[in-house]
Amino acid sequence: MISVKQALSIIEKFKYSIGTEYIAPNKALGRIVSENVLSKTDNPPFNMSAMDGYAVCNKPFNRVYKVVGEIFAGRSMSRKKILKNEAVRVYTGSKLPQGATTVIIQEKTKVLDNNFILYTNNCLKIGQYVRKKGLDFKKNKTIIKKGKILSARDLALLISANCKKIKVFKKPKISILSTGDELIFSEKVKKDSNIFASSLYMLESLIQLSFSECNYKTIVKDDKNKIKKELSKATKSDIIITTGGVSVGKKDLIRSSLIELGYKEKFWKITMRPGKPLLFGILKSKPVFSLPGNPVSTYVCFFIFIFPFLIRVLKLKNNYYKKIAKLTNNIKFISKRESYLRGFFCKKNNENFVKCLSNQDSSLLNMLATSNCLIKIPGKKKYSKNMFVEIILFPPLF
Amino acid sequence: MISVKQALSIIEKFKYSIGTEYIAPNKALGRIVSENVLSKTDNPPFNMSAMDGYAVCNKPFNRVYKVVGEIFAGRSMSRKKILKNEAVRVYTGSKLPQGATTVIIQEKTKVLDNNFILYTNNCLKIGQYVRKKGLDFKKNKTIIKKGKILSARDLALLISANCKKIKVFKKPKISILSTGDELIFSEKVKKDSNIFASSLYMLESLIQLSFSECNYKTIVKDDKNKIKKELSKATKSDIIITTGGVSVGKKDLIRSSLIELGYKEKFWKITMRPGKPLLFGILKSKPVFSLPGNPVSTYVCFFIFIFPFLIRVLKLKNNYYKKIAKLTNNIKFISKRESYLRGFFCKKNNENFVKCLSNQDSSLLNMLATSNCLIKIPGKKKYSKNMFVEIILFPPLF
């Protein structure tokens, strides 16, 4: 048995990369950029009017201009150039003609006869109401940095920069195998001794929330041949997660199946509660995480070990939300192992508080769903009300 | 022209509901529950062993038991009942036979000859290592409350409670019409005077992040017949969003098109920067939000007006992330209108700071992508370094 810290360090030492792919920016929400993205164009691509008005040259200063044309946004004018005393009617987004250096807004003009306008102000600055070519960003400059998780705003930026394809990290593809004779799929009709494989769906969602995808999920009976067959199949994925059958009972066949398939064990069993039988190893160069079968243990092991692993594979910063909080109740629960208890965090008057939920049995989904954090308790220590503890908040939708 | 506050109040007074639907829990990540969900079963569904060991009756206290059978998780035994001096081999998750009141863990036993075991401890409590029927939750009790946004943990809870369908709010279906002769779709090859309709994709993502879906998006030329046709078509959605063409220029045809279609105007133009030409009204009983065409204005108007509207329609709490922060620079920018400036928020030594980004032109996507909050500045007031301002942080991926 090794400690949680040792286990995390072994996982961290395992070097693994998933590779990159090119995708269109409009499909890239929430994806992680794997290299700096350069703009393919200036934005605006030309000097552009920022208002409705008239494009003119600011020098020499005139009061009266002859309107020689009109340019709508998205259009050009047949005459490419204007002279010093000429003006062109423009609108927000219109391309300025050659020779125009500034824009007079329509509110400051009076329309005269014969296509003449009068400017009613006393000065005319160069570049006024003009969005200069490249004001937003310039061609071949970095607009998005490597490692950024793309937001809705980023997509707009990439599209306006004419980036047709961007390089992002592939989503790690994960197979989930839930083992147990008692397990059934959620849509099935339940017989008395059956248990729904709730962890299967929970893990699928957690994977999705961890910038990854579950490309295969199944339930496997407690039968070594079946388990071995499914494990072999799962090596087509980037990562394998199993639940259940990893302890020391008669029906705990995961480890022996992996050994028979020639996997390389990195560790088995940790001094943690819940999560003691956790196993980590490599099967045909693919990492295998075998989690205990109780849904709370499954959840805690995913959150503490697999989530940071995925974050690291995707070269993100570990954005675990760790805090120190004051206990609002005594913790009756003492274990020799480092414990991760379900807690409820809240903030009052800028101070962090956490309540340790009443029942910490690792089968209790109701308690897990009610909680919003884990309380990390070192082994053997007793904690009582008003003491400070380390907590880890769950990310949104986790 | 009305104030931002008045505009928000008019939108808030408009009563609108989208309805509900039934979906399977495994498809329900991030969906909003519209009525309390009751459990369809007890969990555990029966008294269950919490460990590998032997199920026995705790009274009278015996030291030696005869092992009369074995029950694996998910299985039953042909003999339904055990006698006082009998034991049944059980595993984590095994259903206890009738007559068994407690579990002896295997570590505390010695296997004797002829299927007898010796218990090596001195006391035997009722319910020890037993997960009692209904310990997690009881049948017909509320397990998820109305209004909850379903997490991965909630899905596991719902599945284990045998809930096949749950009632959730429908996702509001939204049509987006981007108007402008200069606009082209992101995959198109760009000619000199074209502009990519970046707002279209940005809005699509923002809608998706707001518990809603974009069921139709298109670009419309500045042509009143085409605009009217697309607006009519869009009334099949629950909500209509348009961008561009809503100001007072020659090509600003949105408002006149809506008027000709007989829409009911709620407001047009607000004392806000960016976002002045914002329009809100009702077309064939469907709310229409017409946003200005500059992408930053589009973004700010969505975030300040449409996002809270969707949140309210879905009966969620407005989880805007408002804070007070200290300015790290002077704001040169002064307007008569209430301004929402792009800022960059950070925390140092538990204090909130915000930097007002240098260029606040509403066409600048790079500045928008770099920012992480809006700074709300009342009209006409000058703000300088070290003054406190109200900021609104962007939600994740917004």
pLDDT digit string, tens, across residues B156-198 = 999 999 999 999 999 999 999 999 998 999 999 988 778 899 9
Closest-CA residue of chain A to B45:
A192
Looking at the complex, report in whole angstroms how far the Cα of residue B391 sits from the nearest Cα belonging to chain A: 18
pLDDT of residue B334: 82
pLDDT of residue A78: 82
Looking at the complex, report in whole angstroms how far the Cα of residue A204 sits from the nearest Cα belonging to chain B: 8
Q: Do B181 and A153 touch (CB under 8 A)?
A: no
Helix (H, G, I), strand (E, B) or coil at B390: strand
Q: Do B369 and A154 touch (CB under 8 A)?
A: yes
Q: Do A95 and B247 touch (CB under 8 A)?
A: no
CATH of domain A321-393: 2.40.340.10
Closest-CA residue of chain B to A142:
B366
Q: Do B365 and A136 touch (CB under 8 A)?
A: yes
Give the CATH number of domain A48-131; options: 3.40.50.280, 2.170.190.11, 2.60.40.1930, 2.40.50.100.
2.170.190.11
pLDDT of residue A75: 83
Query: Contact A71/A95 with Cβ under 8 angstroms?
Result: yes
**CA geometry: angle B336, B338, B381, nearest 5 deg:** 60
The model's confidence at residue A373, banded by pLDDT at 50, 70 and 90, is: very high
pLDDT of residue A191: 85
Q: Is the confidence at residue A391, as pLDDT, over 80?
A: yes
Q: How far is A359 from A48, CA to CA, in rounded Å?
A: 65
pLDDT of residue B249: 79
Q: How many other CB atoms sit within 10 Å of the CB of residue A316?
A: 17
Q: Give the residue from A381, A238, A243 showing the smallest Cα distance to A300.
A: A243
Where is pLDDT greater, at A122 or B13?
A: B13
Helix (H) or strand (E) holding B202: helix B198-209
Q: Do A160 and B195 touch (CB under 8 A)?
A: yes
Q: How far is A121 from A382, CA to CA, in rounded Å?
A: 78
Instruction: With a threshold of 0.85, tell me whether the complex ipTM lies above it.
Output: yes
CA B236 to chain centre: 24
Rg (CA), chain B: 31
Percent of chain B with pLDDT over 90: 86
| Residues of chain A neighbouring B150 (CB-CB closer than 8 A) | 397
Q: How far is A148 from A152, CA to CA, in rounded Å?
A: 12
| Residues of chain B neighbouring A46 (CB-CB closer than 8 A) | 192-193
Q: Is the confidence at residue A192, as pLDDT, over 90?
A: no
Least confident interval from A115-124, B15-24, B314-323, B325-334: B314-323
pLDDT digit string, tens, across residues B41-67 = 999 989 999 999 999 999 999 899 999
Q: Where in chain A is the domain with CATH 2.170.190.11?
A: 48-131
- Which residue type is seen at B151? S
How many CA atoms does the CB half-sphere of A384 hold within 13 Å?
0
pLDDT of residue B75: 83
Q: Is the confidence at residue B4, as pLDDT, over 90?
A: yes
| Residues of chain A neighbouring B52 (CB-CB closer than 8 A) | 247-249
pLDDT of residue A333: 79
Residue partners of B15: CB distance under 8 A and separation at least 6? none
Q: Is the confidence at residue B288, as pLDDT, over 90?
A: yes
pLDDT digit string, tens, across residues B23-45 = 999 999 999 999 999 999 999 98
Q: Is the confidence at residue A246, as pLDDT, over 80?
A: yes
Mean predicted confidence (pLDDT) in A284-294: 97
pLDDT of residue A319: 73
pLDDT digit string, tens, across residues A130-166 = 999 999 999 999 999 999 999 999 999 999 999 999 9
Q: According to the 3-state scheme, what is the secondary structure of A162-191?
A: CCCCEEEECCCEEEEEEECCCEECCCCCCC
For an interface test with B, give the residue of A164, A365, A367 to mutate (most B CBs within 10 A): A365
CA distance from start to end of chain B: 28
pLDDT digit string, tens, across residues A27-70 = 999 999 999 999 999 999 899 999 999 999 999 998 999 999 99
Q: Does domain A21-38+143-169 have CATH number 3.90.105.10?
A: yes
Q: Give the DSSP per-residue string, A78-129.
A: SS-B--TTEEEEE-TTPBPPBT--EEEEGGGEEE-STTEEEE-SS---TTTT
pLDDT of residue B319: 73
pTM above 0.90, yes or no: yes
- The domain defined by B4-16+171-313 folds into Molybdenum Cofactor Biosythetic Enzyme; Chain A (3.40.980)
Looking at the complex, report in whole angstroms how far the Cα of residue B321 sits from the nearest Cα belonging to chain A: 14
User: What's the DSSP call for residue B305?
Assistant: I
Query: Contact A87/A65 with Cβ under 8 angstroms?
Result: yes
